C-alpha cells in the first residue's frame, strides 16, 4: 500500500513540476540558475509537491531546496555552535524537523501558550500567508563535525576550500558550522522560517551571518543577475547527470551533496561604465538572448573552437563562460542576487551574488574556480567576500529526523 502511495505521489509531483517549470539560465560559476534551469529533469531526486497548497513536502530522499525550481526569495543563515554536546544538537535537529514540516505546509509551529504573559510559540510573521513554496535545507561543515567529535563520519572527499586568486574574504562571512537555506515566493515567509528555527536555540547556536536575496521569477524565462546577463544554462538536466555530478551515492551520506556558499560583491558602478561589446566579451555570451557569442539561441552549444573574421576566437580566451567550460566540471548552481543598500562613504550600491552550488565532490568547484583563477575577465568587476563549504544532509524519511543517519 505504501509503495502505491509513493508511486501516485511521484506521478502527481511530475505533473506539478512540469507545469510550474520554466526555462534555464545561462551563466557559469557566478551564475544564478534559472527558475526552471533543470527544465527536463524528473528523477528520484525531486521534492514531492502539494500544488493546490503551494507547498512542498519536507520528507524525501534528498532535502528540498536543491533540485526544487527556483523560488523568488531566499533567507540564509550561517550559524556557529555554542555547545559540543551531541545530544543537545540532536534535540535541536529533531525539533527543526518538526518545525520544518509544519512551516513548509504553511502552518504555525506548535500551539500558542494559554498564558498570554509568555511569548507565543510561533513568531507569527507568516500568519495568514500560505506556504508560498517554502523549502528549508540544512548543511553542516567540517568544523561542526570536529566540535561534536564526529570526524570518523567525515567522507574522504571532504576537504577545505583553498584560497583562490582574487579572494578578499571577510572573516564575518567565512566559515561557520551550520548552514540553513530558506527559499520561498514571499520574502516574509522565508524570514519567518529562519527566525522560527533559531529563536528557541540561542543557547545552542549563534548567528555568524545572514542575508536575504532575490531572483527574477517570470515564468518560462531565464532570470538575469544584477549585471543583466542570463545565468544557469549549464546545470544538470536529468537523473544521470544528478547521479554523476550532484548527489553522493552510498554510505550514511547517501543522497547528501556538498554545498559551496560564496558571497560575491559586484562593483556595479564600474560595470555600468563598460561598453556592451566589452560586457559580452567578459561573459562570452550575448546579453539580450543569452546565446554564446556567434550564436543565436540561449541553448546553442558553446563552441570554443569558433573563430571570427580576423581568425581570433569568437569567445575570448579570458571569457568567463569559456574558462568554466574548459574546466570540464559540472555543478548545480542555485544562486540569488542580494542588495544591501549603499555605502555610507561612497554612495555606491552594496550588491552582488549569493553564489550557491551543489556537487558530489568539492573538487568539482575547486577545479572550476582554479581554472577561472586570475585569468577570468569577470574578476575586474567582482570581489569574493565570503566563503563556506557545507555537506547538505540526506533527505529525511518519514519517521526519521534531520541528520539521523549522521548521528546513528
**pLDDT: is 23 or 258 the higher one?**
258
Residue-level pLDDT at 246: 97
Domain boundaries, the chain: 2-407
pLDDT tens digits for 42-98?
456 777 777 778 899 999 999 999 999 889 999 999 999 999 999 999 999 999 999
User: Does residue 4 carry a pLDDT above 50?
Assistant: no
* Dihedral angle, C-alpha 248, 251, 252, 256, nearest 10 °: 0
pLDDT tens digits for 319-367?
999 999 999 999 999 999 999 998 888 889 999 999 999 999 999 999 9
Residue-level pLDDT at 53: 80
User: Does residue 223 carry a pLDDT above 60?
Assistant: yes
Pick the closest to residue 84 from 164, 204, 172, 3 (CA basis). 204
**Residues of the chain by 3-state class (helix, strand, coil), percent to 5:** 30, 20, 50
Residue-level pLDDT at 217: 63
Which range has the worst mean pLDDT, 4-13, 104-113, 135-144? Answer: 4-13
First to last CA, the chain: 28
User: Does residue 115 carry a pLDDT above 80?
Assistant: no
Q: How far is CA 63 from CA 47, 172, 288, 308, in A?
A: 7, 27, 34, 45
* Rounded Cα gap, residues 339 and 317, in angstroms: 31
pLDDT tens digits for 275-304?
999 999 999 999 999 999 999 998 899 999
Q: How many residues does the chain have?
A: 408
Amino acid at each position: 500500500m505504501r509503495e502505491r502511495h509513493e508511486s501516485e505521489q511521484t506521478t502527481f509531483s511530475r505533473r506539478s513540476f512540469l507545469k510550474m517549470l520554466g526555462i534555464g539560465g545561462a551563466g557559469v560559476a557566478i551564475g544564478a540558475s534559472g527558475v526552471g534551469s533543470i527544465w527536463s529533469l524528473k528523477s528520484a531526486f525531486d521534492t514531492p509537491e502539494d500544488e493546490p497548497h503551494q507547498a512542498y513536502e519536507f520528507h524525501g530522499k534528498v532535502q528540498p531546496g536543491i533540485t526544487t525550481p527556483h523560488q523568488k526569495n531566499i533567507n540564509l543563515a550561517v550559524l556557529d555552535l555554542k555547545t559540543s554536546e551531541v545530544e543537545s544538537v540532536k534535540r535541536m535537529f529533531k525539533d527543526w524537523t518538526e518545525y520544518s514540516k509544519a512551516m513548509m505546509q504553511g502552518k504555525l509551529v506548535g500551539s500558542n501558550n494559554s498564558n498570554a504573559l509568555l511569548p507565543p510559540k510561533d513568531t507569527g510573521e507568516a500568519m495568514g500567508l500560505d506556504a508560498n513554496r517554502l523549502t528549508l535545507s540544512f548543511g553542516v561543515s567540517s568544523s561542526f563535525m570536529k566540535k561534536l567529535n564526529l570526524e570518523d563520519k567525515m567522507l574522504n572527499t571532504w576537504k577545505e576550500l583553498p584560497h583562490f586568486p582574487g579572494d578578499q574574504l571577510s572573516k564575518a562571512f567565512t566559515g561557520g558550522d551550520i548552514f540553513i537555506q530558506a527559499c520561498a515566493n514571499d520574502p516574509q515567509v522565508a524570514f519567518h522560517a529562519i527566525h522560527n528555527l533559531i529563536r528557541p536555540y540561542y543557547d545552542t547556536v549563534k548567528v555568524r551571518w545572514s542575508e536575504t536575496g532575490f531572483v527574477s521569477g517570470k515564468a518560462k524565462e531565464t532570470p538575469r543577475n544584477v549585471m543583466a546577463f542570463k545565468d544557469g544554462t549549464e546545470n544538470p538536466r536529468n537523473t544521470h547527470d544528478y547521479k554523476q555530478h550532484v548527489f553522493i551515492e552510498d554510505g550514511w551520506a547517501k543522497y547528501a551533496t556538498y554545498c559551496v556558499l560564496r558571497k560575491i560583491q559586484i562593483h556595479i558602478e564600474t560595470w555600468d561604465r563598460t561598453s556592451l561589446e566589452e560586457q559580452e566579451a567578459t561573459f562570452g555570451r550575448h546579453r539580450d538572448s543569452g546565446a554564446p557569442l556567434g550564436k543565436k539561441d540561449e541553448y546553442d552549444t558553446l563552441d570554443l573552437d569558433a573563430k571570427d573574421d580576423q581568425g581570433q576566437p569568437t569567445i575570448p580566451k579570458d571569457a568567463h563562460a569559456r574558462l568554466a567550460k574548459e574546466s570540464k566540471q559540472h555543478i548545480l548552481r542555485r544562486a540569488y542576487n542580494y542588495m544591501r543598500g549603499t555605502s555610507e562613504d561612497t554612495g555606491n550600491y552594496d550588491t552582488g551574488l549569493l553564489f550557491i552550488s551543489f556537487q558530489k565532490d568539492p573538487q568539482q568547484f575547486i577545479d572550476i574556480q582554479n581554472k577561472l583563477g586570475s585569468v577570468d575577465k569577470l574578476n575586474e568587476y567582482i570581489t569574493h567576500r565570503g566563503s563556506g563549504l557545507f555537506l547538505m544532509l540526506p533527505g529525511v524519511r518519514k519517521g526519521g529526523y534531520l541528520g539521523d543517519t549522521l548521528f546513528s
